[in-house]
Amino acid sequence: MSESTVVVFGDQPPVHLDRVAGRAKVLVCDENSLPQALPTADVLLVWDFTSDAVRDAWPGEGPRPAWVHTASAGVDRLLCPELVTSDTVLTNARGVFEQPIAEYVAGLVVAMAKDFHGSWELQRQRRWQHRETMRLAGTRAVVVGAGPIGRAIGSTLAALGVVVDLVGRTAREGVRGGDELPELLPPADWVVSAAPLTDANRGMFDRTVFDRMKPSARFINVGRGPLVVEKDLTAALVARRIAGAALDVFEHEPLASDDPLWDVPGLFVSPHMSGDTVGWRDHLADQFQDNYERWCAGEPLLNIVDKRLGYVPVD
């Protein structure tokens, strides 16, 4: 294979691409230079996966990359009709974020059940106030999203004794179908959103969902921000129709300093960090380089996304 061109999109490119740099011409670009760089690329590495620039700059019928890899689990920021219908192969970072996100969700569940926030506030007030907290074992969780992230969340919660119902688009062994969600919500103590964002599920967590949850239940979103109708969640928390919630992803990111979500009672806000652990950028770079070596060798790529579904199909 002649020398290929790898375009890396992002203001902060990977800390190392040693195995690629020795075999390809590597160009780093930002949003301004991406439209000119895309037609020259054989491979596009989307390092800045929070931007819509790739979707906006996709060259359509002109020259375009044969392979696009995004350093993220979700691909909704990339997909446009021209990319979906093209012969360009799209891969994602499946395998890097699953367990960290599962640990993050488990941490939130433990913290909420044991009222760590309340203990911290009482400590700040120097108040000795004995309380009783929830026993996790035997509580019920509904995890919406039956991909690798949802499965990792389910198995991690199950290790704590939580009874888990995993919900996917369609029913199959070990997975409940999406049409069963309404009946699973009323007994659930924890409802976790870990689904990819598609046109079909945008805004799926709305007032109807929150109204079906019991007053002691908590909601957690580590999937995609637009899965949740934020005003409906806010209303449910303010009216105490549910006991609490945690959002790691939002409709608009970063969350503005004057956004009312910061002050919603019972809401824990984190800045899209549930999957980001020490060394995660190195893991992402290594994963891309492993796949690049397969691409150079003419071997099948790993983590190929079904562009019409918007995710990597589960085996």
The residues carrying an active-site annotation are 224, 253, 272
CB 148 within 8 A of CB 98: yes
| E-only strand ranges, the chain | 4-9, 24-29, 43-46, 67-70, 89-91, 140-144, 163-168, 176-177, 190-193, 218-221, 244-247, 267-269
- Of all residues in the chain, what percent are helix, strand and coil, respectively (each to 5)? 35, 20, 50
Distance from the first to the final alpha carbon of the chain: 32
DSSP 8-state code for residue 2 = P
To 10 degrees, the CA torsion angle through 19, 20, 26, 29? -90
Written as one letter, the residue type at 158 is: A
Question: By three-state DSSP, how is residue 203 classified?
Answer: coil
Residues 182, 135, 238, 234: is their CA dihedral positive or negative? negative
To 10 degrees, the CA torsion angle through 200, 203, 208, 212? 90
For residue 154, the Cα-to-chain-centroid distance in whole angstroms is 15
Question: By three-state DSSP, how is residue 120 classified?
Answer: helix
Joined tokens for residue 90: 């799209």
